[in-house]
Chains A and B, each alone.
Chain A
Amino acid sequence: MLKFIFWLSFLTVFYTFFGYPMVLSAWRALRAKTIRKGRIFPSVSMVIAVYNEEKVIERKLADLLRLEYPPSLLEIILSSDGSTDRTEERIARWMEKSSGAPPVRLLKSSAHAGKAAALNRGVEHARGEIVLFSDARQLLDSISVLKLVSNFADPEVGAASGELILLERKNGEAAVGIGLYWRYEKWLRKMESEIDSTLGATGALYAIRKGLYEPIPADTILDDVLIPMRIVFKGYRAVFEPEARAYDLLSSRTRNEFVRKVRTLAGNYQLLWEVGALWSPKKNRLFFQYFSHKVARLIAPFMLVLLFFCNFFLLQGFYLVFLILQIIWYGLALWGGMSHEKAHAKAA
């Protein structure tokens, strides 16, 4: 029985981090789908949900002026989720000073109802054929809108996700590990897109056909997964566009990335709990990918714990060597954590 649990845990962990990427690589080699991109210029509404972004909002607006897209075909909608700082004041001041091309609209809300509610409000007021979502914090490559909308020349494409590039900060001790982890994630997304669709988008930059949008529940944590997945359920593709780039800085500490990860994983639990279609291979044609990528990531940590503890009851030959390797691995992790904290305290 213990051996069965050991091997079940081992194979689950192995499949999650190595097996699934191998399956994707082979699948892509055999049946990659092309995207019929084209140089098109649909009208675009950029919706940015904001909440207490006074430190970055003017930088974001200035950055949007640099976008290489006809201003007459672009509108910017800033949907404030009841900001309590000077975000709205700064946007209003900026609007007074700006030339009005592209037009900027501020949607205020007295209630702090959540990001999803702010997005719903923003899309409701959008006039463009394509709705592009972005966050206040990240800056965009000037050609990002152009590159993103080129995917919509393909009638099968319903959503397109840009790529978030994380840049290093000075003394960014977290950069090495997190950077690798992030690159690994993007590699998976790219392969999934080439096969059919990505399992969500990057919240920093993604676009959808406006006609496919359905308001999302106000308490949604992962809007950037739910919105594209709903579009996939309708039979469209959600693709990844690596040339549409948004830029952000890597968190200086692993702790910050940990908090982001907690939020993402809590969001995944929420989606599995609330979106019944994800569990149906009939409605969700990405069922295999979703369970191999998203659900396996929720299961693997529990399997790692199981693998570690049941290994203590298996102490012969191979199992003993494996236990020693596990102890070394977790010992190094602990050491890494302690030296990271020490280095950060020293820098502070």
Chain B
Amino acid sequence: MKKRMRKLLKFPFTFVAMNGAAFVGLYSFIRKRKDVWLRSSEDEPGEPTTQTSAARSEERLRKVA
């Protein structure tokens, strides 16, 4: 129940966070911060663990990793 509640609360939180990113994005642009490599290195690589529609890829990811 608690987990489900937390999941539901993610919607308003994500919406606000993603909109808040516009302010920080503008600030980054004005300050000329250009972290172009951010996308490929900010998160550690790992394996997916939950059910998704892309089961085939999941299996491939595991095999290759």
A residues lining the B interface (CB < 8 Å): 51-53, 55-56, 59, 62-63, 66, 81, 114-116, 135-137, 139, 141-142, 165, 167-170, 172-178, 180-181, 203, 219-221, 245, 247, 249, 251-252, 254, 256-266, 268-270, 273, 297-298, 300-302, 304, 329-330, 332-337, 339-340, 343
Contact B17 A258 (CB under 8 A): yes
| B29, B34, B44, B64: the one within 8 Å of A114 (CB) | B34
Chain A residues with CB under 8 Å of B38's CB are 259-260, 263
Contact B10 A177 (CB under 8 A): yes
| B16, B29, B37, B64: the one within 8 Å of A270 (CB) | B29
| B10, B35, B47: the one within 8 Å of A336 (CB) | B10
- A-B residue pair count with CB separations less than 8 angstroms: 199
Contact A301 B6 (CB under 8 A): no
Contact A335 B14 (CB under 8 A): no
| B19, B39, B50: the one within 8 Å of A263 (CB) | B39
Most chain B CB atoms below 10 A, which of A172, A176, A302? A176
Give the secondary structure class of B's interface.
Answer: helix
Whether A249 contacts B45 in the complex (CB less than 8 A), given A265-B25, A335-B9, comes out as yes
| B16, B24, B37: the one within 8 Å of A81 (CB) | B37
Contact B49 A62 (CB under 8 A): no
B residues lining the A interface (CB < 8 Å): 5-7, 9-26, 28-29, 33-50, 52, 54, 56-58, 60-61, 64-65
* Interchain nearest-CB distance for A46 vs B (Å): 16
Chain B residues with CB under 8 Å of A258's CB are 17-18, 20-21, 24
Chain B residues with CB under 8 Å of A52's CB are 37, 41
| A219, A266, A336: the one within 8 Å of B6 (CB) | A336
